[in-house]
Amino acid sequence: MSLLDVQDLSVVFHSKGREDVRAVDGVTFEVRSGEIVGLVGESGCGKSVTSLALMGLLPPRGVKTGGKAIFDNGVDLLRTDQRTMRDLRGREIAMIFQDPLSSLNPVVPIGDQVTEVLTRHRGMKGEAAKKEAELLLDRVGIPDPRRRLKEYPHQLSGGMRQRALIAMAVACRPRLLIADEPTTALDVTIQAQILELLKELVHQDGTAMVMITHDLGVVAGLCDWINVLYAGRVVETAGRHALFAKPTHPYTHGLLSSIPRLDSVRGERLNPIPGSVRDLLPWLEGCAFAPRCDRVTEACVEGPPELTGGAHAFRCVNPVLEESGQDEAALYSREVSGAIE
Amino acid sequence: MTALARKKIAKLERLAELAAVHSKEQGESLWREALKRVRRNPSAIVGASILGVFILIAVLGPFLVPYDPGQIGVGIPFGLEVKEGQAIYPGPNSEFWLGLDHQGRDMFSRMIVGARQTLLVGVVATAIGLTLGCLIGGIAGAAYGLGGKRGRTIDNVLMRFIDMLLAMPSLLLAISLVALLRPSLMTVMIAVGFISVPIFARLLRGAMIAQSNAEYVVAATSLGVHKRKIALSHILPNSIAPVLVQATLTLATAIIEAAGLSFLGLGNPDSSQAEWGTMLADGLFNSRFDYAPHLALFPAIGIIITALGFTLLGEAMREALDPKLRK
């Protein structure tokens, strides 16, 4: 039974005098209870827009969403009314944002911001809310929570801020957590700690999580299922081990060969993908990745490729078919245990 | 994770925390930091000193005056000068430090007592403008920023009303208001307050709209916080700084405008209550400016110095609260 079932999600931005932008185009994925699903792609591939669409946080004007996103009890997150959505947000579905500094109100102490959620969804007030907030901060690993509650965001370190935001997100033990690049603004050691924390919290509460990132190193150690996005469409979807062992879409393959591995030979060069996301073909004409792909053939530009291949699906007419056979996920992983041991 | 790794992390975190504690002092809010910056600014110190003296005089005024400021002809026993067939009260001397006005009242006493009136007019007028302006601007800003289509309509209606007020020259608006309501001290305060409404409304609305796109608003929305709560406890506190700065600056203009109204004869008709604007008008029109220019000069200097004090402090506050100017 899936907790969130996203079907054919599309988001189109209209603006006067310009062509419509299809930021997300027919994205389909599902999240089961307690599962961590990754949405991976480079900037502009539509991953953040997907998360905002699911939370109903896209601006009301100039945006058209299509498809369905059925949450647990049958509520379509894309079509439901504001009131229901407000009750769901924070209690059933919560989100963690990329930049912890700008996501916290600079003139309100941390404690007030945490208790606000508790008051809203759990009806806690005064001393009880304060106590609970303290426990929450303690739970996300903020030392001396009583003192921290009175402090302002600028007094906390980056990692601490992200921990506070996470505390707010998990305050009501939501069933789905959407993490939009939660570690991008942090330095590497803190990144590992935050990922470890998220993993732990999700595991303890049985929360499902959608992890949005551009960093394959992040998903390697964390996600059960991974969707790779390119130009608004899913180009490859597979379980973690399958994806890392056998990256089939040339884009995924390119991404993996462009990041360093723990077992790579000294002095070996990385292979970046040439070009940028802007060099794309509209999906209707062919594969959007074709202009940057080193395996491009005539067939690539003859209409849009379909998602094929069953459980480990990919959207490519000329896939990479080499297989390493071993579990490679660990070699890319950014986990603390892997990095320090 | 191994025990070793755990220990390492714990140690690192302790170190990081220690570093954080030492680099920043504890318990500092945005305001306290701003106050610190204000205190380092020399023009703020000058402004604050001027205002300090001014407020002290305004509060203690009645205890400082050597003569009854309302008593006509206190100077008569000390003799009059006669010039061109007109009796002129003596100018500044050891007995009457600032001389005597056209009715023979002690100027020094009147200046001191007038400070209180001037401060009262400035503060009350600014408070009226601030309250009304923030109410209108706050509702409009919150409606525009968070209220969707209907919010935009609300904002439109309120802002067109503000535009109407802005379209009229402010002093003209104040004059018509006073004329409408009959001159009195209260009328002056209402009129002067009213003309500063559009400034506050526009300022707060603009700041709130800008803030309503901030990421922390999206974050609060994503936690299901009610719109009203977001507007009041997230957007408003982040938007109020420019408004408070403007309030300090408005105190200066309010004093000048109130003096202007009194100068035009639309002030407090009861001239036994000394007020700098009225005194200035008296000095110019009711006595011989060519023989006794000091009667106009002293109130004018008083108004200028006070307005300068408020302006200096206001500018310093603006600098302190402007994130772009922070070092």
How would residue B22 be classed by pLDDT, with cut points 50, 70 and 90?
very low
Among B148, B149, B215, beta carbon nearest to A97: B215
Q: How far is A248 from chain B (nearest CA, A)?
A: 32
Q: Are A304 and A226 in contact (CB under 8 A)?
A: no
Residue A225 contacts B where some CB pair is shorter than 8 Å? no
The yes-or-no verdict on residue B126 having pLDDT over 90 is: yes
The yes-or-no verdict on residue B26 having pLDDT over 50 is: no
A279 vs B315 pLDDT, higher one: B315
Q: How crowded is residue B83: how many other Cβ atoms within 10 Å of its Cβ?
A: 12
The mean-pLDDT minimum among A89-93, A182-186, A207-211 falls in: A182-186
Measure CA A199 to chain center: 14
- Burial of residue A20 (CB within 10 Å: 0-12, 13-18, 19+) is exposed
Q: Do B224 and A157 touch (CB under 8 A)?
A: no
Tell me the average pLDDT across B18-33. Answer: 54
Q: Do B222 and A55 touch (CB under 8 A)?
A: yes
Q: Chain B residues within 8 A (CB-CB) of chain A?
A: 1-2, 4-5, 8-9, 12-14, 16-17, 20, 24, 26-30, 148-149, 214-216, 218-226, 229, 233-234, 237-238
To the nearest whole number, what is the mean pLDDT of chain A? 87
Per-residue pLDDT at A9: 93
Domains along chain A with CATH numbers: 2-214 (3.40.50.300), 239-334 (no CATH)
Per-residue pLDDT at A118: 93
Tell me the average pLDDT across B269-289. Answer: 79
The yes-or-no verdict on residue B273 having pLDDT over 60 is: yes
Per-residue pLDDT at B269: 76
Which residue in chain B has the smallest CA separation from A170? B223
pLDDT, tens digit, for every residue of A103-122?
999 888 999 999 999 999 99
Structure tokens at A168: 């707010």
Q: What is the ipTM of this complex?
A: 0.84
Residues of A in contact with B30 (CB under 8 A): 106-107, 152
Residues of B in contact with A90 (CB under 8 A): 222-225
Tell me the average pLDDT across B48-75. Answer: 83
Structure tokens at A54: 């699911």
Per-residue pLDDT at A55: 92
Q: Do A106 and B8 touch (CB under 8 A)?
A: no
Structure tokens at A27: 């994205």
The yes-or-no verdict on residue B167 having pLDDT over 80 is: yes
Per-residue pLDDT at B75: 66
CATH 3.40.50.970 fits B42-325, yes or no: no
φ, ψ dihedrals at A76, nearest 5°: -90, 110
Residue A80 contacts B where some CB pair is shorter than 8 Å? no
Q: Do A340 and B13 touch (CB under 8 A)?
A: no
Tell me the average pLDDT across B125-151. Answer: 92
Per-residue pLDDT at A335: 54
Q: Do A97 and B219 touch (CB under 8 A)?
A: yes
Among A159, A168, A196, beta carbon nearest to B223: A168
Among B12, B226, B237, beta carbon nearest to A107: B237
pLDDT, tens digit, for every residue of B217-233?
999 999 999 999 999 98
Among A94, A121, A189, beta carbon nearest to B222: A94
Residue A152 contacts B where some CB pair is shorter than 8 Å? yes
Q: Are A207 and A174 in contact (CB under 8 A)?
A: yes
Among B9, B30, B226, beta carbon nearest to A193: B9
How would residue A338 be classed by pLDDT, with cut points 50, 70 and 90?
very low
Q: How far is B17 from chain A (nearest CA, A)?
A: 8
The yes-or-no verdict on residue A283 having pLDDT over 90 is: no
Q: How far is A317 from chain B (nearest CA, A)?
A: 39
Cα separation, A112 vs A129, in Å, equals: 10
Per-residue pLDDT at B18: 55
Q: Are A180 and A97 in contact (CB under 8 A)?
A: yes
